[in-house]
């Protein structure tokens, strides 16, 4: 079996990379260990509406609801509101992630990519240390897939990077451990996404309530693994739910676990190999959001891979165009937000309460972590001292 | 008696992959949509046990 490119993983990062590689005329195979693309969902399902500008998805079936804004609750329940009318309606969607993933896979196939399901990558195929493809198990059958370029889009649990000698192991302080119920029969009074902060509520993370319609909502938690004990995320989430009147009559129609890298950017390129998406730790360390990076980075990756095949140059040097591209597009933001994450983690609950109190009537011009950050600095110039490393990063950019 | 090694409860595991991402020994892998521990690599550090959001990993003495 010989392809130009083999993509490990049919999530958004894998499918978008495969699509743009196939569109530039390369022979692409996606392998997927699961039985169905997009299932099980492992995601809070929120996404920024800036994906509209990229036009990568057709139809509307993947949209569960449109977000009107966000509310952030400090430990003492002081509420900071980021609303859509102030932000020119540019907010976001709550997704049906399974349909979303399947739509992206459909686009990849339309562009000419092939998909092999129930196929679990087991190692790199190498010849004298040179990457030649992927070894995999399709059901119980061991197979070898030759390819000039291997794309590791194998998620938070990525092995492809490790096989290629890239250290992708996450420190517990760089992983959010998560779980989430999808509840029905709850009272979502509006289309705002709510976030709850506090050491008692979600140490090193937050609880979210994302409405998926009038009476359906995703209710989830992420806590920092370094602050976690066995089963703690679920316990804290259950506590929260039992005390929230909106959720009292809710019944779960889904329960899922998740893990989100909140790390600094890593290297993503080797000879004949690239990493992308959660496997490349391309996640915003503050929000835990990664979907937009998969789409934006996937396009850059697919086009770079396409050019590499055309030129028959699969060297690290050639593929570095992808790494430079994604670092330019969103890597700087990730680096900055990692520093902000560290600062936020150092705040006591009472500091968060004080900061929220100072922003409770603030009018934000956009719904983003950057606009929140700017507001904080305007209100609390002394915070600038703590944020000084950011200025250094800004200079490097 | 040796130190307890990690063991995944297959009925509970929801395959989120967090334990795999944090294991310093690369001793956890996904198999049939469940995490499983490679005993010979496990060094009993318990990081995976603490990381599991739903308490699906416990320590077991062999």
Task: Write down all domains in chain A, each with its CATH number in brackets.
Answer: 2-58+96-170+265-333 (3.50.50.60)
Residue A248: per-residue pLDDT = 84
Domains: count for chain B:
1
Intra-chain end-to-end CA distance of chain A, in Å: 43
- Regions of chain A short of the pLDDT cut 50: 397
Chain segment B16-59, per-residue pLDDT in tens: 999 999 999 999 999 878 999 999 999 999 999 999 999 999 99
Note down the domain range covering B47.
5-60
The answer, for B24 touching chain A at a CB cutoff of 8 Å, is yes
ipTM of the shown complex: 0.96
Residues of chain A contacting residue B55, judged by C-beta atoms under 8 Å apart? 230-231, 234
The answer, for B11 touching chain A at a CB cutoff of 8 Å, is no
Chain segment A62-115, per-residue pLDDT in tens: 999 999 889 999 999 999 998 866 555 558 999 999 999 999 999 999 999 999
What is the rounded distance in angstroms from the CA atom of residue A152 to the CA atom of residue A90?
32
For residue B1, the distance in angstroms to the closest alpha carbon of chain A comes to: 23
Residue A397: per-residue pLDDT = 43
Q: What residues contact A83, with CB distance under 8 A and at least 6 apart?
A: A68, A69, A364, A367
Give residue B62's pLDDT band: very low, low, confident or very high (50, 70, 90). low
The answer, for B15 touching chain A at a CB cutoff of 8 Å, is yes
Residue in chain B closest to A222 (alpha carbons) equals B53
**What is the pTM for the complete model shown?**
0.94
A21 vs B61: which has the higher pLDDT: A21
CB spacing of B21 vs A158 below 8 angstroms:
yes
What is the rounded distance in angstroms from the CA atom of residue A64 to the CA atom of residue A213?
7
Q: What is the CATH classification number for the domain harbouring B32?
A: 3.30.70.20
Residue A87: per-residue pLDDT = 53
Give the number of beta-carbon pairs within 8 Å between A and B: 99
Nearest CB to B17: which of A169, A223, A259? A259
The answer, for B20 touching chain A at a CB cutoff of 8 Å, is yes
The answer, for B50 touching chain A at a CB cutoff of 8 Å, is yes
The answer, for B21 touching chain A at a CB cutoff of 8 Å, is yes
């Amino acid at each position: 079996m010989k392809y130009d490119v083999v993509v490990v993983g049919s999530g958004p990062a894998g499918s978008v990379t495969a699509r743009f590689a196939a569109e530039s005329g390369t022979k692409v195979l996606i392998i997927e260990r699961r039985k169905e693309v997009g299932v099980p969902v492992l995601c809070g399902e929120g996404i920024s509406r800036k994906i509209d500008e990229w036009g990568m998805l057709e139809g509307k079936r993947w949209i569960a609801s449109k977000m009107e804004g966000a509310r952030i609750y400090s430990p003492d329940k002081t509420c900071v509101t980021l609303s859509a009318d102030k932000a020119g309606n540019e907010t976001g969607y709550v997704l049906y992630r399974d349909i979303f993933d399947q739509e992206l896979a459909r686009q990849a196939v339309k562009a000419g990519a092939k998909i092999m399901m129930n196929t679990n990558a087991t190692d790199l195929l190498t010849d004298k240390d040179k990457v030649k493809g992927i070894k995999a198990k399709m059901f119980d059958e061991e197979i070898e897939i030759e390819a000039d370029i291997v794309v590791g889009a194998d998620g938070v649990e990525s092995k492809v990077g490790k096989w290629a000698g890239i250290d992708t192991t996450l420190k517990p302080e760089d992983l959010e451990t998560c779980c989430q119920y999808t509840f029905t029969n709850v009272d979502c009074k509006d289309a705002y996404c709510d976030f709850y902060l506090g050491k008692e509520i979600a140490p090193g993370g937050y609880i979210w309530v994302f409405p998926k319609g009038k009476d359906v909502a995703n209710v989830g938690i992420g806590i920092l693994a370094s602050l976690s004990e066995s089963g703690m995320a679920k316990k804290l989430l259950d506590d929260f739910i039992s005390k929230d009147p909106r959720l009292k009559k809710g019944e779960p129609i889904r329960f899922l676990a998740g893990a989100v890298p909140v790390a600094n950017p890593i290297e993503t390129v080797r000879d004949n190999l690239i990493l992308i998406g959660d496997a490349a730790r391309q996640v915003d360390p503050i929000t835990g959001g990664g979907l937009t990076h998969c789409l934006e980075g996937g396009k850059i990756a697919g086009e770079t891979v396409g050019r590499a095949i055309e030129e028959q140059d699969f060297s690290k040097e050639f593929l570095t165009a992808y790494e430079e591209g994604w670092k330019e597009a969103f890597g700087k933001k990730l680096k900055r937000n990692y520093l902000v994450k560290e600062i936020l983690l150092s705040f006591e609950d009472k500091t968060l309460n004080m900061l929220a109190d100072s922003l409770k009537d603030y009018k934000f011009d956009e719904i983003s972590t950057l606009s929140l950050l700017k507001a904080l600095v305007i209100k609390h110039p002394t915070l600038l001292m703590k944020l000084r490393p950011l200025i250094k990063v800004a200079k490097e950019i | 008696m040796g130190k307890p090694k990690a063991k995944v409860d297959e009925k509970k595991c929801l395959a989120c992959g967090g334990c795999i991402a944090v294991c310093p020994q690369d001793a956890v892998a996904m198999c049939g949509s469940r995490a499983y521990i490679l005993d010979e690599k496990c060094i009993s550090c318990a990081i995976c046990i603490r990381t599991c959001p739903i308490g699906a990993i416990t320590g077991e003495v062999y």
